[in-house]
């Protein structure tokens, strides 16, 4: 624990800032009903297009809905898609990368060529195409009824998996040859024990760094899909759909409509990026002595 | 070192050199703590010590190649009447490679894998001398031949991966001597090599020094290896010079206990078989330097004073040593 | 119990060279790392295997512990072929042959404490959970380290300490045969002696059979009773250690002996032509 707290001290202010932003956004998403001053979907014709003031801190939109409340609720869609996609992508990708690196030979070739295939799919185009094909409504898969958001999460997750597979593979294939792995093998340790106990923990830091960066990309993807109307459906709030709704406002001078959801996206993306860098430092077991090594 | 040698113009003279690391909390941890010794023109000097003794840092400081967080915190490095720590970067670049050349431990990472050996040597030549491309190539071929690469003319067009480890080290030495430097610094040049190749490279360095009159600073942790080709040995420990002197004196009658142990712990092919002499413990870690003599925690001859007070480097004839209870 | 504890019979290892295209056209050549090696190691023997990079000595070590499969030939552990034993990856035979590695920086998992490294090893040997901690400390003591190192991570240890932990880990399996692949070549001379003395003491105390792989003839001379000199995948000379080193018969052995640094005794005369390692080292 002392080692951990020591490392925490070395994170630097950018890391803390990133962490603070991420925690803030997560809190906003989780406690949205408690924090949001207004109902994000409540229409109020007399309050249309009010500029920011004391009652509505970030103003109101064309339907008289409170922008602040919608930005807070929008964090839910953004983070759910971003984090959900990363979790799925990591599960698939890390397993594939570990398998290929540990197995070697033909299995390695097969898995990594499939990964290459998936990686060649342009993410945004496919996200839009798939939603376009299946429609924005829920899709029934066997006994499960998948809402549109889940569909996007799964899709983006699969399309994220090659990134995880490659990062994991690159690190793991080096670790597989390390003497401490060979020593475990010589002791008769089980394959699962070696992969989960020795190889995976030593691949974690690049994976986690990659994960935080991909959450940021996932947020942008969600915003983009919602922007073209294929993501979160009205009247539910999402930063992307808010931006989409604000398209006309750019010309008519209601600046608060595009600026605040845009800022929310930028700040969250920056937050995850800063956090990613800090986490990389934190996970390095040598981080304490790093500054001393010539 | 004799007073005379210091007087009649040492080629390189390191005076009170200090190198420190800036740590996370802003303090400076000293790794080289006031080193001074000199190299005369044409002389071969061996610098011996374990990893962490500060020997490599000293050399990097001399060449002004220290990277952050390490930096020189004091002292002078006199070369040719000028303080290398004081000259501007452009002048230093001209000195590096032309007047002082360096050969590193790992020949693999010292060569650019994407360029031919010839190109890498001619680049060095043309960086320091105004010669035509053809002339540079001729010089490169000559250098490569000089270091014992057969069919050097043809080998100029080879890439580093086509060379074995020993050949790569030869190519690096060719690059180092291409501009006929006055000082060659070789930092553990044979550690990454096989024993027979190591012997060849050591022979080569001795030969170049004899034929071209290049002064050599040979850094190694192996006293027996260094002793084969140098005139004088500087023994470093814990960021300080603990003993130096003519190689015969150091080998035959070391005065500092560390030197004696360093010599005794290397097994030989002639000594009676038995347990090896070991130096117990480990070198002091950075930032945890003992208050007194840095070797005191491991020294078999330690007395109370050693732990409290750093002994001064005393001159005795041609040699110096820093010990309260010398051998 | 009277037969050799370890024997190699006609062990050959070769690798395909050239790219996939060459292989497709049948133009590939094979690089022979080991060429029909046969040798026997008696129980309690301390055998030094010397040679330079490319001599095949590390390949030999890897084959003897079952990390690499030979292209042809057999390794017998107490008369039983390794190829048969290998079918049970975690079988009881496994613990009998252990290895100490060369590079002290990659020999230990950077995320596991010394104590964890040893206890998980003991767990695989079947030591009951409640005894593992005490036995781990006993292993540390065996290799001359104090209990205060138990909670440390590898990067908090010196090179010599890491090398000892690697040794302790191998010994924790209670092996009959220990294969040490260049165990001190990443250490400073001052620390080499510590580890060599330790190995010498442990082999005696534990009755180990030791295969000591090294390029340093002087170390082999101090430690080993037998020596095997390898060059380009073949055994060029073998015999009692002192006999071979005092009266080498093969030119390669002579070359290796000449290459050992000899201090001022080996000083170059200003006039002498280069005498050692005359053969130009090869390209590639």
| Domains parsed from chain A with CATH numbers | 10-38+51-287 (1.10.3720.10)
pTM over 0.90, yes/no: no
Q: What is the pLDDT of residue B306?
A: 92
- Helix crossing, A200-227 with A67-103: angle to 10°? 140
Most B-contacting residue of A10, A282, A291, A293 (CB-CB within 10 A), to test interface: A291
- Residue percentage of chain C with pLDDT more than 70: 89
Q: Rounded distance, CA C207 to CA C250, Å?
A: 32
The stretch B103-132 carries a mean pLDDT of: 89
Q: What is the pLDDT of residue A6?
A: 59
The stretch C152-171 carries a mean pLDDT of: 91
Q: Rounded distance, CA C281 to CA C131, Å?
A: 54
CB A244 within 8 A of CB A150: no
Q: Does B31 touch chain A (CB under 8 A)?
A: yes
The stretch C199-222 carries a mean pLDDT of: 92
Token pair listed for A13:
């202010």
The stretch C251-255 carries a mean pLDDT of: 94
Under DSSP, is residue A222 helix (H, G, I), strand (E, B) or coil?
Answer: helix
Per residue in B250-270, pLDDT tens? 999 999 999 999 888 888 888
Q: What is the pLDDT of residue B36?
A: 92
Q: What is the pLDDT of residue B205?
A: 93
Higher pLDDT among residues B173 and C265, named by residue: B173
Q: Which residues of C touch A293 (CB under 8 A)?
A: none
Q: Closest Cα of chain A to B303: distance in Å? A: 31
CB C112 within 8 A of CB A200: no
Pairwise CB contact (< 8 Å): C124 & A188:
yes
Q: Closest Cα of chain B to A279: distance in Å? A: 18
- How many CB contacts within 8 angstroms connect chain A with chain C? 61
Q: Does B24 touch chain A (CB under 8 A)?
A: yes
Give the number of other Cβ atoms within 10 Å of residue B277's Cβ.
17
Residues pairing with B263 in the sheet: none
Q: Which residues of C touch B261 (CB under 8 A)?
A: 190
Pairwise CB contact (< 8 Å): C110 & A286:
yes
Q: Closest Cα of chain C to A47: distance in Å? A: 59
Q: Which residues of C touch A285 (CB under 8 A)?
A: 110-111, 153, 155
The stretch B63-69 carries a mean pLDDT of: 86
pLDDT at C87 over 70: yes
Token pair listed for C31:
């690089």
Residue of chain B whose alpha carbon sits nearest to that of C278: B200
How large is the ipTM?
0.85
Token pair listed for B309:
């007070």
Q: In what order do the strands lie in the sheet with B82-83?
A: B28-40, B10-22, B70-79, B82-83
Q: Which residues of A touch B69 (CB under 8 A)?
A: 291-292
Residues pairing with A60 in the sheet: A66
Pairwise CB contact (< 8 Å): C94 & A188:
yes
Q: What is the pLDDT of residue A293?
A: 32
In 3D, which of B243, B232, B235, B239 has the Cα closest to residue B314? B243
Q: pLDDT band at residue B141, thresholds of 50, 70 and 90?
A: very high
Q: Which residues of B touch C260 (CB under 8 A)?
A: 195, 268-269
Please identify which residue in the block is written with the tokens 């008769």: A188
pLDDT at C268 over 80: no
| Partner residue opposite C109 with nearest CB, options A187, A190, A198 | A198
Q: Does B70 touch chain A (CB under 8 A)?
A: yes
The CA dihedral of A18, A19, A21, A25, to the nearest 10 degrees, is 140
Q: Rounded distance, CA B121 to CA B123, Å?
A: 5
Pairwise CB contact (< 8 Å): B287 & A291:
no
Give the number of other Cβ atoms within 10 Å of residue A33's Cβ.
11
| Partner residue opposite B70 with nearest CB, options A9, A10, A294 | A294
The stretch C189-209 carries a mean pLDDT of: 89
Under DSSP, is residue B283 helix (H, G, I), strand (E, B) or coil?
Answer: coil
Q: Rounded distance, CA C177 to CA B113, Å?
A: 42
Q: Which residues of A touch C112 (CB under 8 A)?
A: 198
Q: In what order do the strands lie in the sheet with C97-100?
A: C97-100, C177-181, C209-214, C46-50, C226-231, C234-240
In 3D, which of A136, A164, A26, A19 has the Cα closest to residue A82? A26
- Residue percentage of chain B with pLDDT more than 70: 97
Element (H, E) at C186: none
Pairwise CB contact (< 8 Å): A291 & B57:
no
Q: Does A2 touch chain C (CB under 8 A)?
A: no
| Partner residue opposite A179 with nearest CB, options C89, C106, C112 | C106
The stretch B162-184 carries a mean pLDDT of: 91
Q: Closest Cα of chain A to C188: distance in Å? A: 18
Q: Mind listing the pLDDT tens digit of every residue in chain A (294 residues)?
A: 455 565 566 677 888 999 999 999 999 999 988 888 888 888 888 888 788 888 888 888 888 889 899 999 999 888 998 999 999 999 999 999 999 999 888 888 889 999 998 888 887 787 788 778 877 777 777 777 778 888 888 888 999 999 999 999 999 999 998 999 999 999 988 899 999 999 999 998 889 889 988 998 898 888 888 888 888 887 788 898 888 888 877 788 888 888 999 999 999 999 999 988 888 777 765 554 333 332
- Residue percentage of chain C with pLDDT more than 90: 59
Q: What is the pLDDT of residue A285?
A: 57
Q: Closest Cα of chain B to C127: distance in Å? A: 31
Q: Closest Cα of chain C to A5: distance in Å? A: 16
Q: Rounded distance, CA B12 to CA B216, Å?
A: 11
Element (H, E) at A28: helix A13-30
CB A38 within 8 A of CB A199: no
Q: Which residues of B touch C259 (CB under 8 A)?
A: 195-196, 198-199
Q: What is the pLDDT of residue C284?
A: 37
Radius of gyration of chain B (CA): 20
Under DSSP, is residue B288 helix (H, G, I), strand (E, B) or coil?
Answer: coil
Q: Which residues of B touch C219 (CB under 8 A)?
A: 267
Q: Name the residue ranges covered by the structural domains of chain B.
A: 3-99+181-321, 113-176
With respect to CATH, is domain B3-99+181-321 assigned 3.40.50.300?
yes
Pairwise CB contact (< 8 Å): B23 & A292:
yes
CB B57 within 8 A of CB B66: yes
Q: What is the pLDDT of residue B233?
A: 96
Pairwise CB contact (< 8 Å): A292 & B69:
yes
Residue of chain A whose alpha carbon sits nearest to that of C181: A179
| Partner residue opposite C155 with nearest CB, options A183, A202, A286 | A286
The stretch B207-228 carries a mean pLDDT of: 91
Bridge-based pairing state of the strands A139-141 and B28-40: unpaired
Please identify which residue in the block is written with the tokens 């202010």: A13
Give the number of other Cβ atoms within 10 Å of residue B190's Cβ.
26
**Chains in touch with A (≥3 Cβ pairs < 8 A):** B, C
CB C49 within 8 A of CB C214: yes
Residue of chain A whose alpha carbon sits nearest to that of C89: A188
Q: Which residues of A touch C108 (CB under 8 A)?
A: 180
Q: pLDDT band at residue C275, thresholds of 50, 70 and 90?
A: very low
**Environment class of B131 (CB within 10 Å of its CB; exposed 0-12, middle 13-18, buried 19+):** middle
Q: Which residues of B touch C256 (CB under 8 A)?
A: 195-196
The stretch C257-262 carries a mean pLDDT of: 88
- Alpha-carbon distances of C58 from C45, C53, C158, C213, C254, rounded to whole Å: 19, 8, 25, 7, 21
Token pair listed for A99:
């398998």
**Lowest-confidence segment of A280-284, C52-56, C85-89, C116-120 by average pLDDT:** A280-284
Q: Does A190 touch chain C (CB under 8 A)?
A: yes
Give the number of other Cβ atoms within 10 Å of residue C249's Cβ.
11
Pairwise CB contact (< 8 Å): A292 & B57:
no
Higher pLDDT among residues C24 and B290, named by residue: B290
Task: List the domains of chain C with CATH numbers.
Answer: 6-18+29-106+175-259 (3.40.50.300)
| Partner residue opposite B69 with nearest CB, options A9, A10, A291 | A291
CB-based contacts of C31, cutoff 8 Å, min separation 6: C14, C15, C16, C17
Q: Rounded distance, CA B262 to CA B254, Å?
A: 10
Q: Closest Cα of chain B to A273: distance in Å? A: 23
- Alpha-carbon distances of A200 from B295, C48, C121, C177, rounded to whole Å: 41, 36, 18, 30
Q: pLDDT band at residue C18, thresholds of 50, 70 and 90?
A: low
Pairwise CB contact (< 8 Å): B282 & C257:
no
Q: pLDDT band at residue C75, thresholds of 50, 70 and 90?
A: very high
Q: pLDDT band at residue C42, thresholds of 50, 70 and 90?
A: very high
Q: Rounded distance, CA B81 to CA B317, Å?
A: 26
Q: What is the pLDDT of residue C282?
A: 43
Residue A29 sits at the vertex; the CA angle it makes with A26 and A35, to the nearest 5 degrees, is 110
Most A-contacting residue of B21, B22, B24, B27 (CB-CB within 10 A), to test interface: B24
Q: What is the pLDDT of residue C26?
A: 67
CB-based contacts of C134, cutoff 8 Å, min separation 6: none
């Amino acid at each position: 624990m002392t080692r951990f707290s020591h490392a925490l001290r070395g994170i630097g202010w950018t890391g803390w800032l990133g962490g603070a932003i991420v925690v803030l956004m997560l809190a906003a998403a989780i406690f949205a009903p408690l924090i949001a001053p207004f109902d994000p979907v409540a229409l109020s014709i007399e309050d249309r297009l009010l500029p920011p003031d004391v009652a509505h801190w970030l103003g109101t939109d064309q339907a008289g809905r409170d922008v602040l409340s919608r930005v807070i609720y929008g964090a839910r869609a953004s983070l759910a898609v971003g984090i959900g996609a990363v979790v799925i992508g990591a599960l698939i990708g890390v397993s594939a990368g570990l398998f290929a690196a540990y197995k070697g030979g033909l299995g390695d070739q097969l898995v990594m060529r499939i990964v290459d295939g998936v990686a060649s799919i342009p993410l945004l185009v496919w996200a839009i195409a798939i939603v376009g094909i299946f429609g924005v409504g829920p899709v029934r898969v066997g006994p499960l009824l998948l809402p549109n958001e889940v569909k996007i999460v799964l899709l983006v997750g699969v399309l994220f998996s090659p990134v995880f597979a490659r990062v994991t593979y690159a690190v793991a294939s080096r670790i597989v040859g390390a003497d401490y792995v060979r020593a475990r093998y010589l002791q008769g340790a089980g394959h699962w024990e070696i992969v989960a106990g020795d190889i995976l923990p030593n691949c974690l830091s690049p994976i986690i760094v990659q994960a935080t960066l991909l959450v940021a990309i996932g947020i942008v993807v969600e915003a983009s899909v919602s922007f073209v109307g294929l993501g979160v459906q009205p009247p539910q709030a999402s930063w992307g759909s808010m931006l989409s709704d604000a398209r006309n406002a750019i010309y008519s001078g209601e600046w608060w409509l595009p600026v605040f959801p845009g800022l929310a996206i930028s700040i969250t993306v920056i937050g995850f990026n800063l956090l990613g860098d800090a986490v990389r430092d934190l996970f390095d077991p040598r981080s304490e002595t790093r500054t001393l090594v010539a | 070192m004799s007073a005379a040698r210091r007087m009649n113009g040492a080629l390189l003279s390191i005076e009170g050199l200090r190198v420190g690391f800036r740590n996370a909390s802003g303090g400076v941890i000293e790794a080289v703590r006031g080193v001074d010794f000199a190299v005369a023109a044409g002389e071969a000097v061996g610098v011996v010590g374990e990893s962490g003794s500060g020997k490599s840092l000293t050399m990097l400081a001399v060449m002004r190649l220290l990277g952050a967080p390490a930096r020189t915190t004091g002292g002078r490095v006199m070369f040719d009447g000028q303080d290398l720590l004081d000259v501007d970067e452009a002048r230093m670049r001209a000195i590096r490679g032309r007047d002082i050349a360096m050969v590193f431990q790992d020949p693999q990472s010292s060569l650019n894998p994407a360029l031919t050996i010839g190109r890498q040597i001619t680049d060095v030549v043309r960086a320091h001398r105004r010669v035509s491309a053809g002339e540079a190539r001729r010089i490169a071929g000559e250098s490569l031949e000089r270091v014992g690469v057969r069919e050097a003319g043809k080998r100029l067009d080879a890439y580093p991966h086509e060379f074995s480890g020993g050949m790569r080290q030869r190519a690096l030495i060719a690059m180092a001597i291409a501009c006929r430097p006055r000082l060659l610094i070789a930092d553990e040049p044979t550690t990454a090599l096989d024993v027979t190749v190591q012997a060849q490279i050591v022979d080569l360095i001795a030969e170049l020094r004899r034929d071209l009159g290049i002064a050599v600073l040979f850094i190694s942790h192996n006293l027996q290896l260094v002793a084969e080709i140098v005139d004088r040995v500087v023994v470093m420990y814990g960021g300080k010079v603990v003993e130096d002197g003519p190689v015969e004196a150091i080998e035959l009658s070391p005065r500092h206990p560390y030197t004696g142990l360093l010599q005794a712990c290397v097994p030989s092919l002639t000594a009676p078989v038995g347990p090896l002499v070991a130096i117990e413990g480990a070198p002091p870690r950075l930032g945890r330097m003992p208050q007194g003599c840095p070797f005191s925690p491991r020294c078999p001859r330690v007395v109370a004073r050693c732990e409290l007070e750093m002994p001064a480097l005393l001159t005795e004839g041609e040699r110096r040593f820093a010990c309260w209870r010398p051998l | 119990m009277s037969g050799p504890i370890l024997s190699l019979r006609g062990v050959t290892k070769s690798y395909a060279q050239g790219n996939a295209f060459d292989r497709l056209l049948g133009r590939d050549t094979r690089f022979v790392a080991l060429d029909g090696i046969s040798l026997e190691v008696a129980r309690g023997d301390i055998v030094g295997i010397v040679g330079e990079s490319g001599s095949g000595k590390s390949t030999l070590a890897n084959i003897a512990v079952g990390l690499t499969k030979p292209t042809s030939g057999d390794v017998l552990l107490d008369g039983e072929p390794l190829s048969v034993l290998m079918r049970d990856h975690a079988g009881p035979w496994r613990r009998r042959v252990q290895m100490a590695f060369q590079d002290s920086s990659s020999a230990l998992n950077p995320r596991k404490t010394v104590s964890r490294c040893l206890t998980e090893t003991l767990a695989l040997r079947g030591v009951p959970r409640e005894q593992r901690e005490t036995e781990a400390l006993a292993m540390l003591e065996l290799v001359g380290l104090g209990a205060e190192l138990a909670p440390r991570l590898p990067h908090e240890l010196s090179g010599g300490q890491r090398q000892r932990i690697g040794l302790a880990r191998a010994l924790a399996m209670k092996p009959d045969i220990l294969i040490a692949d260049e165990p001190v070549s990443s250490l400073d001379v001052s620390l080499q002696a510590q580890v060599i003395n330790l190995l010498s003491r442990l082999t005696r105390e534990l009755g180990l059979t030791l295969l000591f792989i090294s390029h340093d003839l002087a170390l082999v001379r101090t430690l080993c009773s037998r020596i095997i000199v390898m060059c380009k995948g073949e055994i060029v000379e073998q015999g009692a250690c002192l006999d071979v080193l005092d009266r080498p018969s093969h030119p390669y052995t002579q070359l290796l002996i000449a290459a050992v640094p000899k201090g001022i005794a080996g000083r170059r005369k200003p006039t002498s032509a280069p005498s050692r390692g005359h053969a130009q080292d090869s390209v590639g």
